[in-house]
């Protein structure tokens, strides 16, 4: 039973014991009910303490039971809370570390609550696209008031227990031994005559509840346009304010059932699990010993190197930063300082933290200073010859067991590893620009990369707050290999009749943060140009539209040259459709004898997104990615794919692979159709009526 029951001089202690965070799974829920009933029937017991073992009071509903019959099997959490709330003997919730979601709702069903300081208190359900489904929208407003509760429910953000000390949620915030404080409190209230106070019986006091709720609704509807849950949270709280607890509870249930079935909630839960699943590598045991990373070195103090260094400094890990020339080193340090100064100005960083962080950097021009580093990340020019020089040098100076990582975005990590005598210590750590901001980290596993190196880097990624996804070695790994096909389709569509602004608008309406042409103007069209030139050498058979080369030949590299696919005005980053470029596109189509036609937004979205899906399917077939959710995590955290659609592979499942296959078949039969080589797995899964994610 995932619950322990002990007695202490007239007080029964029910301890949730379902590691890792006391998720309220079926056996835990049943154990609580049994414990409460056992205490009712024991005349020596005057009061009951409910608490959690290990690192949480409770992290809420057991997410491992989501979408399984156990999740809704009696006793449901609502039943458990009803049993707790109707106990004749007082129930005291003793909260520490984490009380989230159903865990907090359970505590709200108790008669009294005592908390240790530092506990994370939250109703994060809205982040899963649902709302508190066990009375949270009804009890929390009665415990801490309308405004504070709406803030917590709609944001899902945790609040530290001591910040709620005077909120009416806790009867005590106990800085000392929580168990002792709970037992003492239990003996005190156990001596009192019942009935004991129930949160549900409190009133929600507010001078102008209707006005505040309307204000909240206006605020939330502006920011939550693609997510239904936040507004539903407000509706449920309002129902309780207007119609009383029981009607409010019933309405909350209706909202919960409706939301849990929405594609947005499915996408958010997919991302929640995908984030956790990404850190699990099928053939690397979870208990693989990791190497200690106390000191890091970064080679290259440019945009990437500086951003990479900041990640480690932000986590308190000292960094030796190596450059070849003093002025480059000085520039790199100045950029890092400027970034921190900007954070201080925005109030995101305390002034004293700026100097503390800068003090963690040891600048140097000498490779010899890297000899103590446990991890060395190179972020030098993206050219194999340069990487070779760096890794041969590293092989000479790095201490045995140091992990040697390359930030390469497309080069072959196995070839880089072969420049050393220690390929087992070489790995790719592909950060995304700006490296100190973007959450995605592609961890590229070479054929010789040791398992403990992978385990170490995945653990370190969590420490520097990155979403790490393991990729095998191929050109472009996961993200860039897929974006290649996306851009190919975008360029073909220009040739066939679309214009940059139409393509961007269509895919931005679908939910992408930025369309391909605005993105390219931002990153620099010359970067794609250089990659295409390399591609033409390596894959002469691959059919590309040369329209982007034509643009680059005129020097229109994007924002940095005042013009790219769009025109720009000095000091203004707005992308203005360019008459010159539109005419160039028209002329190009004529030269290519391409009959320009009207292309619908729907075709634009299908060709861009299904190009990602088709290449993602091949990446799965080749084992470059181990699971579809890894590919989705790459696109959600590194490429601006809309979160409410869950990533390209989940979106394909939502559309149905049968429909994806038919759409690809249609495009394969049209001009430039040779780019559509259907991934066999799409046809196979479609025939079985399955999706990528099961």
Binding of ligand T1G by 498 (CB under 6 A): no
Question: For residues 295-328, b (16+ Cβ closer than 10 Å) or e, as one string?
Answer: bbbbbbbbebbbbbbbbbbbeebbbbbbbeeeee
Q: Closer CB to ligand T1G, residue 12 or residue 108?
A: 108
The percent helix, strand, coil of the chain (3-state, each to 5) is: 50, 10, 35
Binding of ligand T1G by 276 (CB under 6 A): yes
449 torsion bin: left (phi>0), alpha (psi -120 to 50), beta (else): beta
CA-to-CA dists, residue 220 to 132, 231, 239, angstroms: 17, 7, 17
Binding of ligand T1G by 461 (CB under 6 A): no
Catalytic: which of 125, 252, 275, 496?
A: 125
Report residue 347: phi and psi, to 5°.
75, 15
CB of 620 to ligand T1G, least distance (A): 22
Q: Closer CB to ligand T1G, residue 276 or residue 690?
A: 276
Binds ligand T1G (CB under 6 A): choice among 35, 60, 446, 515? 60
Binding of ligand T1G by 21 (CB under 6 A): yes
Binding of ligand T1G by 134 (CB under 6 A): yes
Window contacting ligand T1G (CB under 6 A); options: 130-138, 229-237, 383-391, 402-410: 130-138
Q: Are 642 and 444 in contact (CB under 8 A)?
A: no
Binding of ligand T1G by 105 (CB under 6 A): yes
User: Please, which of residues 567-626 interact with ligand T1G by CB under 6 A?
Assistant: none
Q: Closer CB to ligand T1G, residue 123 or residue 182?
A: 123
Binding of ligand T1G by 129 (CB under 6 A): no
Pairing type for strands 172-173 and 112-115 reads parallel
Q: Are 410 and 531 in contact (CB under 8 A)?
A: yes
Q: Is 380 exposed, middle or buried (0-12, 13-18, 19+ CB in 10 A)?
A: buried
CB of 690 to ligand T1G, least distance (A): 25
Binding of ligand T1G by 61 (CB under 6 A): yes
> Is residue 162 flagged as an active site residue?
no
Among 264, 275, 195, which Cα is nearest to 226's?
264
Binding of ligand T1G by 64 (CB under 6 A): yes
Window contacting ligand T1G (CB under 6 A); options: 119-127, 186-194, 233-241, 245-253: 119-127
What's the half-sphere exposure (Cβ side, CA atoms, 13 Å) at 168? Answer: 18
CB of 259 to ligand T1G, least distance (A): 10
DSSP for 351-414 reads: HHHHHHHHTTEEEES-GGGGTT-SEEEE---S-HHHHHHHHHHHHHHSPTT-EEEE--SSS-HH
CB of 131 to ligand T1G, least distance (A): 8
Binding of ligand T1G by 563 (CB under 6 A): no
Q: Closer CB to ligand T1G, residue 160 or residue 605?
A: 160
Binding of ligand T1G by 132 (CB under 6 A): yes
Binding of ligand T1G by 102 (CB under 6 A): yes
Q: Are 685 and 642 in contact (CB under 8 A)?
A: no
Q: Closer CB to ligand T1G, residue 239 or residue 611?
A: 239
Q: Are 315 and 463 in contact (CB under 8 A)?
A: yes
Beta bridge partners of 16: 3, 52
Binding of ligand T1G by 63 (CB under 6 A): yes
The secondary structure of 217-257, three-state, reads: HHHHHHHCCCCCHHHHHHHHHHHHHHHCHHHHHHHHHHHHH
Binding of ligand T1G by 323 (CB under 6 A): no
Binding of ligand T1G by 248 (CB under 6 A): no
DSSP state of 554: T
CA-to-CA dists, residue 443 to 282, 326, 630, 645, angstroms: 14, 31, 11, 24
Binding of ligand T1G by 281 (CB under 6 A): no
Binding of ligand T1G by 23 (CB under 6 A): yes
Beta bridge partners of 98: 120
Catalytic: which of 105, 275, 442, 615?
A: 105
Q: Closer CB to ligand T1G, residue 101 or residue 642?
A: 101
Report residue 98: phi and psi, to 5°.
-140, 130
Binding of ligand T1G by 289 (CB under 6 A): no
Binding of ligand T1G by 274 (CB under 6 A): no
DSSP state of 656: -
Q: Closer CB to ligand T1G, residue 337 or residue 451?
A: 451
Q: Closer CB to ligand T1G, residue 105 or residue 661?
A: 105
Binds ligand T1G (CB under 6 A): choice among 90, 109, 129, 133? 133
By beta carbon distance, the residue nearest ligand T1G is: 101
Binds ligand T1G (CB under 6 A): choice among 20, 43, 69, 694? 20
> Is residue 125 flagged as an active site residue?
yes
DSSP state of 161: G
Q: Closer CB to ligand T1G, residue 93 or residue 491?
A: 93
Residue with tokens 């951003």: 307
Binding of ligand T1G by 252 (CB under 6 A): no
CA dihedral 610, 616, 622, 627 (to 10 degrees): -130
Q: Closer CB to ligand T1G, residue 102 or residue 516?
A: 102
CB of 23 to ligand T1G, least distance (A): 3
Catalytic residue positions, numbered: 105, 125
Residues in contact with ligand T1G by the rule CB under 6 A: 20-21, 23, 59-64, 77, 98, 100-102, 105, 120, 124-125, 128, 132-134, 136, 276
């Amino acid at each position: 039973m995932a619950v322990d029951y002990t007695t202490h001089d007239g007080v029964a202690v029910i301890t949730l014991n379902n590691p890792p965070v006391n998720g309220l799974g079926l056996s835990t829920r049943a154990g609580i009910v049994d414990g409460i009933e056992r205490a009712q029937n024991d005349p020596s017991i005057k009061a009951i303490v409910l608490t959690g073992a290990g690192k949480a009071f409770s992290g809420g509903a057991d997410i491992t039971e989501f979408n399984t019959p156990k999740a809704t099997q009696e006793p449901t959490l609502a039943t458990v809370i009803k049993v707790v709330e109707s106990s004749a003997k007082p129930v005291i919730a003793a909260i520490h570390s984490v009380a989230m979601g159903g865990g907090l709702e359970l505590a709200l069903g108790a008669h009294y609550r005592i908390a240790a300081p530092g506990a994370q208190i939250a109703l994060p359900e809205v982040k899963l696209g649902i709302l508190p489904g066990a009375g949270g929208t009804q009890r929390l407003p009665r415990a801490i008031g309308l405004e504070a509760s709406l803030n917590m429910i709609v944001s899902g953000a945790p609040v530290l227990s001591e910040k709620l000390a005077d909120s009416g949620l806790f009867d005590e915030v106990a800085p000392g031994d929580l168990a002792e404080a709970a037992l003492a409190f239990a003996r005190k209230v156990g001596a009192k005559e019942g009935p004991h106070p129930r949160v549900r019986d409190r009133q929600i006091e507010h001078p102008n509840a209707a006005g505040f709720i309307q204000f909240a609704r206006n605020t939330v509807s502006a920011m939550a346009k693609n997510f239904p849950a936040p507004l539903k949270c407000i509706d449920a709280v309002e129902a309780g304010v207007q119609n009383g607890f029981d009607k409010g509870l019933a309405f909350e249930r209706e909202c919960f059932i409706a939301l849990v079935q929405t594609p947005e909630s499915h996408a958010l839960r997919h991302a929640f699990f995908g984030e956790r699943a990404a850190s699990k590598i099928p053939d690397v045991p979870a208990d693989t010993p990791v190497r200690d990373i106390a000191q890091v070195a970064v080679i290259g103090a440019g945009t990437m190197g500086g951003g990479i260094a900041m990640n480690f400094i932000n986590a308190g890990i000292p960094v030796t930063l190596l450059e070849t020339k003093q002025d480059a080193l000085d520039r790199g340090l100045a950029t890092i300082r400027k970034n921190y100064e900007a954070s201080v100005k925005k109030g995101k960083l305390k002034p004293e933290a700026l100097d503390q962080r800068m003090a963690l950097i040891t600048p140097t021009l000498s490779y010899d200073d890297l000899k103590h580093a446990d991890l060395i990340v190179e972020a030098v020019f993206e050219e194999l010859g340069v990487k070779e020089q760096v890794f041969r040098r590293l092989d000479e100076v790095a201490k045995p067991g140091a992990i040697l990582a390359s930030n390469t975005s497309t080069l072959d990590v196995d070839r880089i590893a072969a420049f050393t005598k220690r390929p087992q210590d070489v790995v790719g750590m592909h950060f995304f620009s700006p490296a100190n901001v973007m959450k995605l980290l592609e961890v590229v596993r070479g054929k010789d990369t040791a398992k403990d190196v992978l385990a170490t880097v995945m653990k370190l990624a969590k420490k520097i707050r990155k979403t790490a996804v393991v990729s095998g070695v191929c050109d472009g790994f996961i993200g860039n290999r897929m974006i290649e096909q996306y851009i190919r389709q975008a360029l073909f569509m220009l040739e066939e009749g679309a214009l940059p602004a139409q393509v961007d608008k269509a895919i931005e309406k679908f939910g992408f943060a930025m369309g391909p042409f605005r993105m390219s103007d931002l990153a620099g069209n010359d970067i794609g140009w250089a990659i295409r030139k390399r591609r033409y050498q390596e894959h002469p058979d691959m059919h590309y539209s040369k329209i982007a080369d034509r643009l680059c030949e005129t020097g229109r590299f994007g924002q940095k040259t005042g013009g790219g696919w769009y025109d720009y005005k000095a000091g203004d980053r707005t992308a203005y459709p360019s008459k010159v470029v539109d005419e160039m596109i028209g002329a190009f189509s004529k030269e290519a004898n391409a009959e320009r036609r009207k292309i619908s937004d729907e075709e634009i979205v299908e060709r861009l997104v299904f190009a990602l899906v088709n290449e993602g399917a091949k990446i799965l077939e080749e084992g470059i990615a181990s699971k579809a959710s890894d590919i989705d995590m790459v696109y959600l955290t590194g490429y601006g794919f809309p979160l409410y659609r869950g990533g390209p592979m989940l979106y394909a499942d939502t559309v149905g692979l049968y429909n994806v296959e038919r759409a690809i078949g249609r495009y394969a039969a049209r001009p430039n159709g040779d780019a559509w080589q259907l991934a066999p797995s799409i046809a196979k899964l479609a025939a079985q009526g399955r999706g990528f994610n099961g």
